Structure formats: structure tokens, C-alpha cells
């Protein structure tokens, strides 16, 4: 058996604790050996203030997983790649499209793996939806992604700042699934961004897109939904109606639930990262981030009620 790839995790926040730590513990191909976080540490691992300290102090470290907010991740990734370490990026992979393109080139030049992850693509029913849509003629798509920002992002100021994406922080998950399951490419034709009077990023957004064969794709994102939360993608085709619910965990075909499964999203991401490192490859698909960037380019901005936690 080959030795596990040694990995350092950067940014010990919500997603690192909820998903990355338990998933790494179940991935024998990777060994978590260090943490870099300014305000957090784990009892049983070396802890560093930031990635620069970690890279300097851990010459044997082979890979890093960046779980920090998108703003600032570019500099962290550059430091790791220049130090010859493989890099896994949380979604969205960066604060702009071009910075991630630059990272992909840098990774190639330095002979390391860059993996831009899209965890929602690993949701249980996504591949089955993709398989069912592969030969279908898509007639219409409706994305409804509505959740309560106070519940899911309590106190996170970075989501409201430039580069934080606002409601597209969860919304990009829907777009990552959309771009995985549809047989055709999509592009936005119009968007509306509802921005709280005291914030920089939208609390709600609507996007109208079309597929390359002309089918309309409507997306509605809203962070003001209390009560039941909605993460649905409905695809009407010339045959069946495909409905992905709960962010891709459940598949309904013509109104009948056909699958549900346990959440293995981050376990699959880490298994894939280990495979990419072992085979000397990178995986960087920017299409979901490109769609969000286009929404900001095309978007009509409307100022809405100020947001307070
Ligand atoms: P978070 O709770 O704010 O954690 C991020 C951590 O990064 C912080 O605890 C902080 O740790 C560190 N950090 C470094 N620079 C920072 C800065 N300038 N501002 C704030 N924190 C900074 O965020 P998160 O929810 O884990 O999200 C991190 C990434 O994961 C985002 O890209 C997000 O889209 C993605 N993600 C989140 C979820 C979710 O449900 N929360 C789900 C999937 C993916 P120190 O202060 O100790 O340095």
C-alpha cells in the first residue's frame, strides 16, 4: 500500500468542521497533518496562523485544502503552488474567473494538481439525473434555490463583501449541478440582482438563461426564505420530467421519487483529489463561476431593504 498523501487544511471554519474534517478522517489516501487558521486550532495537530507559516514549517506537506472564503484564496493558492504543493479549492474556486484561470496555468507550470471542487455535483442523485438527460431534448428548466441566510451563514460578513457573491454563494451550487446534468451549454440573457441598501452583494437574484438549443432556463435565488428551505432543479424534456430536490440528494421522475441516498459529497471530493494527485492531473471547470460572473455583468441592480443579522 502506498503512503497517504499528507495534507494541510487552511481556514478552520463552518465547512471545514462540518464536512472536511469528518470526510478526511474517512479517506485513507489522505492524511491530515496540519491546520492553518488565524483563530482556531485542533488539539491533536500542529496549528499555524496562516498558510505561509504552515508551508515553511512543514516541508513534508504534499497538499493543501483551502476552506477559507473566496476573497484571499488566490494568494494562498499561489503560495502553495509555488511551494510545489497540490491544491484543493472550496467552491467558488475564487473571487474572479480570471484569477482561477491564472491558478490553473500556474499549477500546470509547477507540475502540481489543482482541483476546483463543486461539492453539489457529488450529491447522491446528480449523476443519475445526468444519465437520464443525456439523450433528452430539454424543453424548460426551473431552478428554485431559496434558503435562510441567518440560519446557514450566521455572522459571516465576507458573503456580503465584494467577491463574496451574496446569494450566489449557495446559488452557484445550483449552477454547478445545472452545468453537470444538462446535455447542452447554457448562457444568461438577463438577470436581476436585489442588493440590500447597506450591503455590496445580492440577497436575491433572478437569472434568465437559454440552452444552446434554445430552451429557457429560469433561476430564482433568495436568501430571505424562512420555514421550509428549497433547493430544486426541475427539467422538463420531450420525455420525462426530472426533478432534483434537496440540492441534488433526491431524484423525482414524473412526480415519483426514484432515489435518495446518504450524503457522501465531501468524501467523494477527497477521493477524487487523491486520484488526481496520484495521476498527475488537474480538474478546473469554471462554467458555474462564469455564469455568476455573467449575471453580475448583465444584472439589473435593484436596491432593497437593508439587511441586519
Ligand atoms: P466560515 O465559517 O467563515 O469559515 C472560513 C474560515 O476561513 C474562517 O473561520 C476563518 O478562520 C478563515 N478565514 C481566512 N480569511 C478569512 C477572512 N478574510 N474572512 C473570514 N474568514 C477567513 O466560512 P465557511 O462557511 O466555512 O465557507 C468557506 C468556504 O466554503 C466558502 O467558499 C463557502 O462558499 C464554502 N462552503 C460553505 C458551506 C457552508 O454551508 N458553510 C458549504 C459548502 C461550501 P480563521 O479566522 O481562524 O482564520
Tell me if 309 is assigned to some domain: no
Rounded-to-integer distance, Cα 136 and Cα 141, Å: 13
Give mean pLDDT, residues 125-140: 97
Last residue of a domain, one of 116, 144, 170: 116
Shared domain for 127 and 108, answered yes or no, is no
Give mean pLDDT, residues 12-32: 98
Tell me if 53 is assigned to some domain: yes
Q: Quick check: CB of 91 below 6 Å from ligand 1?
A: yes
Give mean pLDDT, residues 191-198: 98
The CATH number of whichever domain residue 159 belongs to comes to 3.30.360.10
Tell me if 14 is assigned to some domain: yes
Work out how many domains the chain is built from and give that number. Answer: 2
pLDDT band at 143 (very low <50, low <70, confident <90, very high): very high
CA dist 255 to 170, 183, 237, 251, Å? 25, 22, 14, 9
What's the CA-to-centroid distance between 68 and ligand 1, angstroms? 4
Shared domain for 108 and 130, answered yes or no, is no
By most ligand atoms within 8 Å of CB, the mutation choice from 13, 156, 175, 265 for ligand 1 is 13
Shared domain for 36 and 147, answered yes or no, is no
Mean pLDDT of the chain: 97
Tell me if 31 is assigned to some domain: yes
In this structure, which residue's CA is closest to atom 36 in ligand 1?
15
pLDDT of residue 2: 86
Give residue 172's domain range. 120-262+293-304
pLDDT band at 85 (very low <50, low <70, confident <90, very high): very high
Q: Quick check: CB of 169 below 6 Å from ligand 1?
A: yes
Give mean pLDDT, residues 172-192: 98
pTM value surpassing 0.85: yes
Shared domain for 299 and 152, answered yes or no, is yes
Tell me if 33 is assigned to some domain: yes
pLDDT of residue 259: 81
For 196-225, write each residue's pLDDT tens digit: 999 999 999 999 999 999 999 999 999 999
What's the CA-to-centroid distance between 112 and ligand 1, angstroms? 24
DSSP letter at 224 equals B
3-state secondary structure of 206: strand
- Chain-centre distance for alpha carbon 163: 14
Q: Quick check: CB of 154 below 6 Å from ligand 1?
A: no
Last residue of a domain, one of 70, 101, 116: 116
Shared domain for 81 and 124, answered yes or no, is no
**Which atom of ligand 1 is found nearest the CA of 16?**
26
| Burial class for 297, CB neighbours closer than 10 Å (0-12, 13-18, 19+) | exposed
Shared domain for 249 and 210, answered yes or no, is yes
Q: Quick check: CB of 40 below 6 Å from ligand 1?
A: yes
Tell me if 90 is assigned to some domain: yes
Q: Quick check: CB of 37 below 6 Å from ligand 1?
A: yes
For 233-266, write each residue's pLDDT tens digit: 999 999 999 999 999 999 999 999 998 778 999 9
Shared domain for 137 and 223, answered yes or no, is yes
Give mean pLDDT, residues 184-204: 98
Rounded-to-integer distance, Cα 270 and Cα 11, Å: 17
By most ligand atoms within 8 Å of CB, the mutation choice from 67, 71, 148, 177 for ligand 1 is 67
Last residue of a domain, one of 53, 84, 116: 116
What's the CA-to-centroid distance between 11 and ligand 1, angstroms? 6
Shared domain for 51 and 111, answered yes or no, is yes
The CATH number of whichever domain residue 20 belongs to comes to 3.40.50.720
Shared domain for 48 and 140, answered yes or no, is no
pLDDT of residue 261: 77
Q: Is the dihedral of CA 309, 301, 209, 291 positive or negative?
A: negative
Shared domain for 89 and 55, answered yes or no, is yes
pLDDT of residue 157: 98
Shared domain for 104 and 142, answered yes or no, is no
Shared domain for 41 and 171, answered yes or no, is no
Amino acid at each position: 500500500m502506498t503512503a497517504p498523501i499528507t495534507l494541510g487544511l487552511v481556514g478552520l471554519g463552518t465547512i471545514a468542521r462540518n464536512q472536511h474534517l469528518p470526510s478526511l478522517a474517512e479517506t485513507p489516501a489522505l492524511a491530515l497533518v496540519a491546520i492553518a487558521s488565524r483563530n482556531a486550532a485542533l488539539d491533536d495537530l500542529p496549528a499555524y496562523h496562516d498558510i505561509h507559516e504552515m508551508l515553511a514549517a512543514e516541508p513534508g506537506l504534499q497538499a493543501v485544502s483551502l476552506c477559507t472564503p473566496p476573497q484571499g484564496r488566490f494568494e494562498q493558492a499561489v503560495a502553495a503552488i509555488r511551494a510545489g504543493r497540490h491544491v484543493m479549492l472550496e467552491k467558488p474556486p475564487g473571487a474572479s474567473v480570471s484569477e482561477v484561470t491564472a491558478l490553473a496555468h500556474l499549477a500546470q507550470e509547477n507540475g502540481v494538481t489543482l482541483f476546483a471542487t463543486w461539492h453539489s455535483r457529488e450529491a447522491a442523485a446528480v449523476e443519475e439525473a445526468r444519465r437520464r438527460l443525456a439523450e433528452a431534448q430539454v424543453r424548460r428548466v426551473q431552478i428554485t434555490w431559496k434558503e435562510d441566510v441567518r440560519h446557514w451563514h450566521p455572522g459571516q460578513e465576507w458573503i456580503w463583501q465584494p467577491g463574496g457573491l451574496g446569494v450566489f454563494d449557495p446559488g452557484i451550487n445550483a449552477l454547478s449541478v445545472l452545468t453537470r446534468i444538462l446535455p447542452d451549454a447554457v448562457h444568461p440573457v438577463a438577470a436581476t440582482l436585489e442588493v440590500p441598501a447597506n450591503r455590496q452583494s445580492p440577497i436575491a437574484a433572478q437569472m434568465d438563461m437559454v440552452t444552446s438549443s434554445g430552451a429557457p432556463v429560469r433561476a430564482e435565488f433568495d436568501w430571505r426564505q424562512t420555514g421550509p428551505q428549497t433547493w430544486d432543479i426541475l427539467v422538463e424534456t420531450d420525455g420525462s420530467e426530472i426533478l432534483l430536490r434537496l440540492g441534488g440528494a433526491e431524484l423525482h421522475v414524473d412526480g415519483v421519487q426514484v432515489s435518495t441516498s446518504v450524503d457522501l459529497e465531501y468524501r467523494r471530493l477527497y477521493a477524487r483529489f487523491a486520484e488526481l494527485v496520484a495521476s498527475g492531473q488537474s480538474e478546473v471547470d469554471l462554467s458555474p463561476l462564469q455564469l455568476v460572473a455573467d449575471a453580475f455583468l448583465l444584472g439589473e441592480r435593484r436596491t432593497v431593504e437593508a439587511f441586519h443579522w
